[in-house]
């Protein structure tokens, strides 16, 4: 049984890592940093220099920016961050964008005031530095380690026990997770202590419903929900899970100004961790308390995997969040801890190696793969069917299997990551 203090630490972790966001979190984080630099300067900079780590650059190049009418990429995000952004809004920094601000941003870009470059020796996989100039005045803002974590330039040296790509260590509310500890927490915690997590399902389902009414991105969600297509894909829970998850992603990656609840700094991960759970609960009339616990379980599993993978990596985040969703669905099916372990192993065996080639509208296709696999893995788990330790990277121990996955994504795929960025920037 977990102590009251242990429960408090895990709840605090959930509250820090599951937060609202508008727009893709990498360009939004760059906009946030730009907003802070302009605030420090006290005026709109005459020019700005932006330095980014490889993973931030990769994830910010091809995604729509909220409120811009479909504009893509970093320059407009940077300009709007400085023109109307407020750093106090954090990942909702662009929520006050107006058509007038977009026009001002376009002029700022056309005047050649923004310089963007890759920082090869960035101290973390998530690194943003904005240097703002006005006459002989210069102000700098630096984000490192997490999307809203401002640091001083002379404090960038990571702790000895932190890897270059690891999520930032916090001494306050420090908590070490394992799959068993997450499961014990979820079944033991008083419901009222995690009631707040229900908002993640409400917000992300609302985003999906809103997106169905428009034509965003590749319209994967709309296609799956189309009655003309259902004679091929069916009209069951699997299709519903895919349609709603992809719909929210379609909107978000296209720059719709629709808030979503993120997980570990990623809106898509937040969508993938919550929407499949919410859809399954609705379709199968799952008891309210079971649903809330399943949401907490799914989000915590995603957070746990990201702790060793890092905020940004060469591995697509859909496998991380979809693994959480598979655990949540298994729990709602009445699964045991052992069956939840089976679901995790089935997920890792299936999706390991899926590359991240940046945030973009086609992320909805990858999410369709992730959440459909989540359903399949849960269904297999409930039949006591699991990939064994004799197969591939799966270990008898589920936590070691997770570490095998994250080691590949964090270390072995680093050269792949460099090639992906080279290909993207050469086009």
Same domain, 139 and 189: no
Rounded-to-integer distance, Cα 413 and Cα 419, Å: 10
Listed residue (340, 346, 308, 342) closest to 327, CA to CA: 340
Does residue 161 lie in a domain region? no
Listed residue (314, 183, 321, 337) closest to 261, CA to CA: 321
Among 167-171, 296-300, 418-422, which stretch is predicted with the lowest mean pLDDT? 167-171
Q: Quick check: 420 pLDDT over 60?
A: yes
- Reduce the DSSP state of residue 79 to 3 states and report it: helix
Q: Quick check: 336 pLDDT over 90?
A: yes
Q: What is the DSSP string of 93-162?
A: TTTT--HHHHHHHHHHHHTT-EEEEE-TT-SSSSEEEEEEEETTEEEEEEEESSTT-EE-GGG-PPPTT-
Q: What is the CATH number of the domain that holds 133?
A: 3.30.360
Rounded-to-integer distance, Cα 218 and Cα 237, Å: 22
Q: Which residue has the tokens 């703002």?
A: 132
Contacts of 412 (CB under 8 A, 6+ apart): none
Q: How far is CA 1 from CA 4, 87, 353, 395, in A?
A: 9, 40, 36, 26
| Mean pLDDT across 324-350 | 98
| pLDDT on residue 73 | 85
- What's the pLDDT band for 231 if we cut at 50, 70, 90? confident
Contacts of 252 (CB under 8 A, 6+ apart): 23, 24, 207, 258, 260, 267, 268, 271
Q: What is the DSSP string of 196-254?
A: GGHHHHHHHHHHHHHHHTS--TT-HHHHHH-TTTHHHH-SSHHHHHHHHHHHHHHHHHT
- Reduce the DSSP state of residue 150 to 3 states and report it: strand
Q: What is the CATH number of the domain that holds 328?
A: 1.10.4100.10
Same domain, 93 and 214: no
Q: Which residue has the tokens 């040296």?
A: 157
Q: Which residue has the tokens 């931030």?
A: 56
| Mean pLDDT across 124-141 | 94
Same domain, 230 and 275: yes
Rounded-to-integer distance, Cα 313 and Cα 315, Å: 5
Is the distance from CB of 349 to CB of 387 less than 8 angstroms?
Answer: yes
Q: Quick check: 303 pLDDT over 80?
A: yes
Same domain, 122 and 201: no
Q: Which residue has the tokens 């994967």?
A: 220
Contacts of 36 (CB under 8 A, 6+ apart): 87, 130, 141, 150
The chain-wide mean pLDDT, for the chain, equals: 91
Rounded-to-integer distance, Cα 39 and Cα 33, Å: 10
Listed residue (52, 124, 142) closest to 310, CA to CA: 124
Which tokens go with 300?
Answer: 């915590």
Same domain, 149 and 182: no
Q: Quick check: 5 pLDDT over 50?
A: yes
Among 169-173, 283-287, 405-409, which stretch is predicted with the lowest mean pLDDT? 169-173
Same domain, 184 and 147: no
| pLDDT on residue 165 | 38
Does residue 413 lie in a domain region? yes
| pLDDT on residue 304 | 97
Q: Quick check: 43 pLDDT over 60?
A: yes
Same domain, 180 and 94: no
Q: Quick check: 426 pLDDT over 90?
A: no
Total of domains in the chain: 2
Rounded-to-integer distance, Cα 291 and Cα 377, Å: 19
Rounded-to-integer distance, Cα 233 and Cα 231, Å: 6
Q: What is the DSSP letter of 163?
A: -
Does residue 168 lie in a domain region? no
Does residue 2 lie in a domain region? no
Q: Quick check: 411 pLDDT over 60?
A: yes
| pLDDT on residue 155 | 55
| pLDDT on residue 158 | 41
Do the bridges between strand 114-118 and strand 47-52 make them parallel or antiparallel, or are there none, so unpaired? parallel
Same domain, 148 and 190: no
Listed residue (251, 289, 275) closest to 203, CA to CA: 275
Does residue 15 lie in a domain region? no
| pLDDT on residue 318 | 87
Same domain, 132 and 281: no
Same domain, 225 and 196: yes
Contacts of 242 (CB under 8 A, 6+ apart): 221, 224, 368, 371, 372
| pLDDT on residue 227 | 82
| pLDDT on residue 256 | 86
Does residue 94 lie in a domain region? yes
| pLDDT on residue 173 | 54
Of 155, 185, 219, the position where a domain reaches its end is 155
Which tokens go with 358?
Answer: 């940046």
Share of the chain above pLDDT 70, in %: 95
Contacts of 103 (CB under 8 A, 6+ apart): none
* 69-121 confidence digits (pLDDT tens): 889 889 999 999 999 999 999 988 999 999 999 999 999 999 999 999 999 88
Cα Rg for the chain, rounded, in angstroms?
A: 21
Same domain, 407 and 279: yes
Is the distance from CB of 72 to CB of 65 less than 8 angstroms?
Answer: yes
* pTM, entire model: 0.89
Range of the domain at 338: 175-426
Is the distance from CB of 58 to CB of 426 less than 8 angstroms?
Answer: no
Same domain, 81 and 133: yes
| Mean pLDDT across 195-212 | 96
| Mean pLDDT across 194-214 | 95
* 145-195 confidence digits (pLDDT tens): 989 999 986 555 443 333 333 344 444 456 789 999 999 999 999 999 999
- What's the pLDDT band for 196 if we cut at 50, 70, 90? very high
| pLDDT on residue 268 | 94
């Amino acid at each position: 049984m977990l102590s009251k203090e242990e429960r408090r630490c895990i709840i605090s972790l959930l509250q820090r890592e599951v937060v609202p966001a508008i727009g893709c979190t990498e360009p939004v984080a760059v906009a946030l940093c730009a907003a802070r630099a302009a605030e420090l300067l006290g005026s709109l900079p005459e020019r700005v220099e932006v330095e980014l780590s490889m993973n931030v650059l990769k994830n910010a190049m091809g995604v729509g920016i909220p409120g811009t009418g479909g504009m893509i990429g970093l320059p407009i995000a940077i300009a709007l961050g400085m023109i109307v952004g407020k750093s106090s809004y954090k990942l909702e920094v662009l929520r006050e964008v107006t058509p007038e601000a977009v026009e001002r941003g376009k002029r700022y870009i056309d005047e050649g005031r923004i310089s963007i470059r890759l920082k090869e020796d960035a101290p973390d996989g998530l690194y943003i530095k904005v240097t703002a100039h006005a006459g002989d005045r210069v102000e700098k803002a630096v984000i490192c380690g997490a999307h809203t974590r401002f640091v001083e330039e002379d404090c960038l040296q990571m702790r000895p026990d932190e890897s270059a790509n690891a999520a930032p260590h916090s001494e306050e509310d420090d908590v070490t997770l394992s799959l068993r500890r997450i499961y014990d927490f979820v079944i033991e915690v008083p419901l009222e202590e995690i009631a707040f997590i229900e908002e993640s399902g409400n917000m992300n389902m609302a985003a999906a419903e809103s997106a169905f009414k428009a034509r965003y991105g590749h319209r994967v969600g709309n296609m799956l929900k189309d009655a003309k297509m259902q004679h091929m894909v069916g009209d069951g829970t699997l299709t519903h899970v895919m349609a709603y998850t992809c719909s929210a992603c379609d909107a978000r990656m296209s720059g719709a100004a629709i808030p979503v609840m993120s997980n570990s700094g990623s809106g898509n991960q937040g969508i993938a961790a919550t929407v499949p759970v919410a859809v399954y609960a609705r379709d199968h009339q799952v008891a309210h308390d079971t649903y809330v616990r399943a949401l907490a379980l799914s989000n915590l599993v995603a957070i746990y995997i990201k702790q060793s993978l890092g905020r940004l990596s060469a591995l697509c985040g859909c496998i991380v969040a979809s693994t959480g969703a598979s655990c949540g669905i298994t729990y709602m099916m009445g699964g045991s801890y052992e069956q939840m372990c089976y679901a995790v192993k089935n997920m890792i065996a299936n999706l390991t190696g899926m590359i991240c080639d940046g945030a973009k509208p086609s992320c909805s296709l990858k999410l369709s793969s992730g959440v459909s696999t989540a359903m399949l893995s849960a269904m297999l788990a409930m039949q006591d069917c699991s990939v064994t330790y004799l197969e591939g990277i799966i270990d008898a121990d589920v936590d070691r299997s997770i570490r095998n996955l994250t080691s590949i994504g964090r270390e072995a795929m680093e050269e792949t990551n460099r090639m992906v960025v080279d290909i993207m920037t050469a086009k």
